[in-house]
């Protein structure tokens, strides 16, 4: 192989890498993105330690300036979030943080919560199959908006979000409805899940590293929630 052939091969190799990287970035930006569940606000539908894939294409993926919360534009949406969808969106309080909740109402609909029962347009909203209530108390609206709220009409172009863990979720009951421009994607499926490691030992310097890694490897098979792998999120 002469110098000219080698240069041609290098160019083809570099071009292939650039195309592959470009496609990967396009897919992550506009089609599918991975997310991790760090809190229990969607229990028992989603658990701490679940890793899921989100469909960003269906709602029209936002294209952000790298390293910022500024969106350049959005791809055209196939549809808007609908009541019952589990949605990933930027926090209305912190643009650098993503949240995941269930959409229960859209623009123009009226939300009211009476003694923990959710009503949308005057009709009871059916609790998701794996939702739960963990506090036997029912708090008054004067004390807290968790159990008694509204009536509140969702503005056009906004969505009212609630966690399935009704008594332990910071959601639209506290910080209002979510504007469409903050919507990022629809939860699709769980590709990995493991229970948090609560037994230790935990890292406390280089000397602890062998013991930490040894225990981590030993307990890993028992922490994986094999039955959740591949589950479709509903």
Known catalytic residues are: 41, 101
The span from the CA of 222 to the CA of 76, in Å, is: 43
Residue 134 DSSP code? -
- Read off φ and ψ for residue 212, nearest 5 degrees: -60, -50
The tokens describing 114, both together, are: 């009476």
Residues 6+ apart with CB under 8 A from 196: 48, 49
Structure-block tokens of residue 63: 């294209």
CA distance linking residue 163 with residue 186, whole number of Å: 15
Residue pointed to by tokens 């910071």: 170
Please name every residue paired with 89 in a beta bridge, in sequence order, or none if there are none. Answer: 99, 183
Peptide bond connecting 216 to the previous residue in cis, omega within 30 degrees of 0: no
Strand ordering across the sheet containing 149-153: 123-124, 117-120, 110-114, 149-153
């Amino acid at each position: 192989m002469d110098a000219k052939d080698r240069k041609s091969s290098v160019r083809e190799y570099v071009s292939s890498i650039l195309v592959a990287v470009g496609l990967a970035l396009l897919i992550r930006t506009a089609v599918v993105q991975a997310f991790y569940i760090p809190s229990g606000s969607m229990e028992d539908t989603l658990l701490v330690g679940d890793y899921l894939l989100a469909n960003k294409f269906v709602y029209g993926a936002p294209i952000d300036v790298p390293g910022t919360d500024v969106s350049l534009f959005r791809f055209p949406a196939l549809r808007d979030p609908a009541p019952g969808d589990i949605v990933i969106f930027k926090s209305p309080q912190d643009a650098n943080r993503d949240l995941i909740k269930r959409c229960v109402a859209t623009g123009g609909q009226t939300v009211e919560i009476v003694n923990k029962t959710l009503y949308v347009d005057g009709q009871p909203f059916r609790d998701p199959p794996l939702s739960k209530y963990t506090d036997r108390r029912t708090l008054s609206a004067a004390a807290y908006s968790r159990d008694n709220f509204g009536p509140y009409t969702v503005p056009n172009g906004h969505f009212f979000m609630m966690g399935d863990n009704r008594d332990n979720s910071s959601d639209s009951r506290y910080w209002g409805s979510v504007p469409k421009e903050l919507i990022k994607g629809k939860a699709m499926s769980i590709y990995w899940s493991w229970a948090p490691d609560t037994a230790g030992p935990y890292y406390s310097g280089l000397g602890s590293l062998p013991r930490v890694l040894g225990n981590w490897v030993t307990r890993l098979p028992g922490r994986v929630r094999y039955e959740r792998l591949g589950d479709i999120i509903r």
